[in-house]
Chain A
Amino acid sequence: MRVRVPLKLSAQAIRAKESHFPMFLLTALLPIVVFPLARLDGVLLQRMALPLSVTLLVLESLRAMPAWVAQLGPIHINGIYRSLGLFSVVAVWIPLLQGQKLPFTLQIILLGLRAVFYLLTAIRIVQVLANCERVSGKTLSLGAAGYVHLGLTAGLLATVLQMADPDSFNLGAVPVQESLAARLSYFSFVTLGSLGYGDVVPASPIGESFAVLLSLSSTLYLSLLIGLLLSRFISAREDEIQESTQ
């Protein structure tokens, strides 16, 4: 299979989307905010909180990300990305209609697909940041949204791991009525922020590798992001200075 190298993302395409970035950051934070409210056996609002926040986030990502131009052989990545997004939106509402009676394997697959969507979004964000010309407040909020996406992706992946093998993580004293996804998202963000409280710890070799990869990716994301943004910022300033001296 021939992989066509993605065409350079044009700065114009990014600028056209720039005004969506702050809203995109807010919707990315939404799942974290609603986790304490969400409950599968609560009143309607509690049951709807999580699906609603995920729906908003997915729709906002589809709106804010410039279209992918890369192709894998005959398949358009943009098409995969969009259908994955719409599929996750549908899938996240199923438990609410069905109760928790979905087949176990199907639950794992649906969560995994959503994780892939978040991961693709994170990759797209990095591409956008690498190709933007000017650093503004809006660009910075996109960088922040990328960091949050890293945590969301890891939280879902950890949930998938834990469901596939319940010995992957030692969950510690789980608060009453907290879902597995909420606890492991908390663990992911604690790892991502290099906090390491140690109340949730990996308990299998796969869990350990997962924690190592997560910690690596957060350190690299932050240092690369800063390097990228700062160099862009400085070179933009130097251009201004040169123009003003000519």
Chain B
Amino acid sequence: MSSSSLPLRLQKLEPWFYQFLLATLLPLLVMPFTNLDGNLIQRVLLPLSTLWMVLVLVRIVPTDLLFIGRWKPFGLYRPLALLCAVLMWLPSALGHHHAVVFHWPVLLMMCGFYLFTAVGIVLMLGKVGRVNEPVLCLGAAGYIHLGLTGGQLATALEVLQPGTFSLGLMLPGEELVERLSYFSFVTLGTQGYGDVLPSTAMAESFVVLLSVSATLYVTLMIGLLVSRYLQTRESRA
């Protein structure tokens, strides 16, 4: 596989981009129904929907997206994704009371995976040969994925050092990751209700980076995609 055929291979993957958009939306839809101490369905909903997302991602993210010298960082992507696909079942298998020793490595690895994916999506959007409806879907999915990544990172920060965020009035039965994903999307969408707030210097830096990356993603990435989409359509007409 030579890197010159990358745009062509991405073109062949286009049908999968619709599915990826659905797969990133699903975790948001099922989050209210999940409960780590509930019945079987309530426990498996979130890992199941995330598993679907991971499987689609493994299918669409090429391994030769980025070269640092002769090293391909995305060669590591699939092993990491499959490892995460196994590890994310731990909380639902063990309930709320599993050892913290488990918790940290799993959280950090999930964060690494989410960040890796976010970078991968941006690189893919930079390398597509043409912009049509499925590619716009990939752009939209990238935005949602940014929010999910923010939620994961915030959860990791809060678990590693409780009190990183002041969570306000948590709704009954709401998980930490749910509350912080909500916060992450409120930040991403520039609402900033202020019901969840950063309360350490670390959290403040996190919020600044998240807000900057969201603003720039929407303005630069989506702006360029839409202009290229119009170009593609004109040249087709």
Are A and B subunits of one complex?
yes
Select from chain B the residue with minimum beta-carbon distance to A186: B204
A182 proximal to B (CB < 8 A): yes
Q: B224 touching A233 by the CB < 8 A rule? A: yes
Cα A182 to Cα B192 with chains together (Å): 19
Q: A175 touching B205 by the CB < 8 A rule? A: no
By secondary structure, the B interface counts as helix
Query: B192, B204, B223, B235: which contacts A196 (Cβ < 8 A)?
Result: B192
Q: A195 touching B220 by the CB < 8 A rule? A: no
Select from chain B the residue with minimum beta-carbon distance to A218: B215
Contacting B at CB under 8 A, from A92-147, are 135, 137, 140, 143-144, 147
Mask: chain A, 232-246; 1 = CB below 8 Å from B; 0 = not: 011001000100000
Interface size counted on chain B using CB atoms at 8 A: 34
- Report the stretch among B7-15, B34-42, B144-152, B206-214 that lies at the interface: B206-214
Contacting B at CB under 8 A, from A175-223, are 175, 177-178, 182-183, 185-186, 189-190, 192-199, 222
- Report the stretch among B63-71, B92-100, B174-182, B194-202 that lies at the interface: B194-202
B190 proximal to A (CB < 8 A): yes
Residues of A within 8 A of B198 (CB): 186
A226 proximal to B (CB < 8 A): yes
By secondary structure, the A interface counts as helix
B227 proximal to A (CB < 8 A): yes
Q: A147 touching B215 by the CB < 8 A rule? A: yes
Q: B214 touching A193 by the CB < 8 A rule? A: yes
Say how far B165's CB is from chain A's closest CB, in angstroms: 11
Residues of A within 8 A of B193 (CB): 197
Interface Cβ pair total, 8 Å cutoff:
104
Residues of B within 8 A of A182 (CB): 201, 204
Q: A35 touching B205 by the CB < 8 A rule? A: yes
Q: B208 touching A32 by the CB < 8 A rule? A: yes
Residues of B within 8 A of A194 (CB): 190, 192
B170 proximal to A (CB < 8 A): no
- When A35-B204, A237-B231 are in contact, do A173 and B187 touch as well, CB less than 8 Å? no
Residues of B within 8 A of A166 (CB): none
Q: A175 touching B200 by the CB < 8 A rule? A: yes
B173 proximal to A (CB < 8 A): no
Cα A199 to Cα B187 with chains together (Å): 14
Q: B197 touching A199 by the CB < 8 A rule? A: yes
Say how far A137's CB is from chain B's closest CB, in angstroms: 6
Q: A226 touching B223 by the CB < 8 A rule? A: yes
Q: B201 touching A197 by the CB < 8 A rule? A: no
B3 proximal to A (CB < 8 A): no
A66 proximal to B (CB < 8 A): no
A156 proximal to B (CB < 8 A): no
Q: Measuring CB to CB, which residues of chain A are less than 8 angstroms from any residue of chain B?
A: 29, 32-33, 35-36, 135, 137, 140, 143-144, 147-148, 151, 173, 175, 177-178, 182-183, 185-186, 189-190, 192-199, 222, 225-226, 229-230, 233-234, 237, 241
A-B contact pairs, 27 of them (CB 8 A): A32-B208, A35-B205, A36-B202, A36-B205, A135-B224, A137-B126, A140-B220, A144-B216, A144-B220, A147-B212, A147-B215, A151-B212, A175-B203, A178-B204, A182-B204, A186-B204, A189-B208, A190-B208, A193-B214, A193-B215, A194-B192, A195-B187, A199-B194, A226-B220, A229-B220, A229-B223, A230-B223
